[in-house]
């Protein structure tokens, strides 16, 4: 994120990208982070949900604690950050904000490795949450945009998405190495 912040600044994009460290499995820390952002910068115009983790916990033999940790970080934190970012934008009448969820190819296909099946489920949830968010934003009659990107090669995609004109909604971008079969 530090590199992306530097690239955005050197490219002359308006605004400031400020990475912030927070335990995303703890809602109080998330709320504290948004409070600090409000105090220091009036609020959020762009939210990039980038955190995610995988635990080797198969469905047939995995530990509940590992599953819960993946849900807390990969699903709940994304949802809480999304809600708080939207509320921040709404409070300040920001109608051209953006919420970007950095996802994984596992959010679009299940690989034949039992240790990642539950992780894949959490990433499919991110895909569904992003589409649901797009629908809710449309129902709210706002021009705030929601995009789901895969982690692979995402820095260029984030810059591309953020530079799109306000009337353009880039909903999903899938990127994979040219050598990858599927």
Catalytic amino acids? 119
Distance from C-alpha of 181 to C-alpha of 62, rounded to nearest angstrom: 29
Distance from C-alpha of 44 to C-alpha of 25, rounded to nearest angstrom: 20
Give Cα separations from 160 to 14, 30, 45, 46, 134 (angstroms). 14, 27, 17, 14, 18
Distance from C-alpha of 151 to C-alpha of 159, rounded to nearest angstrom: 13
Strand partners, 173: 149
């Amino acid at each position: 994120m530090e590199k992306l912040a530097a690239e955005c600044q050197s490219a002359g994009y308006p605004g400031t990208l400020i990475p912030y460290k927070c335990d995303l499995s703890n809602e109080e820390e998330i709320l504290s982070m948004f409070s600090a952002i409000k105090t220091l910068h009036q609020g959020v115009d762009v939210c990039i949900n980038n955190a995610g983790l995988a635990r080797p916990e198969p469905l047939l033999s995995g530990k509940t604690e590992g599953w819960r940790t993946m849900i807390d970080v990969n699903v709940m934190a994304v949802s809480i950050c999304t809600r708080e970012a939207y509320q921040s934008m709404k409070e300040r009448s920001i109608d051209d904000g953006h919420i970007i969820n950095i996802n994984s190819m596992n959010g679009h296909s299940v690989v034949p490795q039992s240790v990642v099946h539950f992780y894949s489920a959490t990433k499919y949830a991110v895909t569904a949450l992003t589409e649901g968010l797009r629908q809710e934003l449309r129902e709210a009659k706002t021009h705030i945009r929601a995009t789901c990107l895969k982690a692979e090669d995402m820095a260029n995609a984030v810059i591309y998405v953020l530079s799109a004109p306000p009337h353009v909604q880039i909903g999903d971008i899938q990127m994979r190495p040219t050598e990858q079969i599927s």
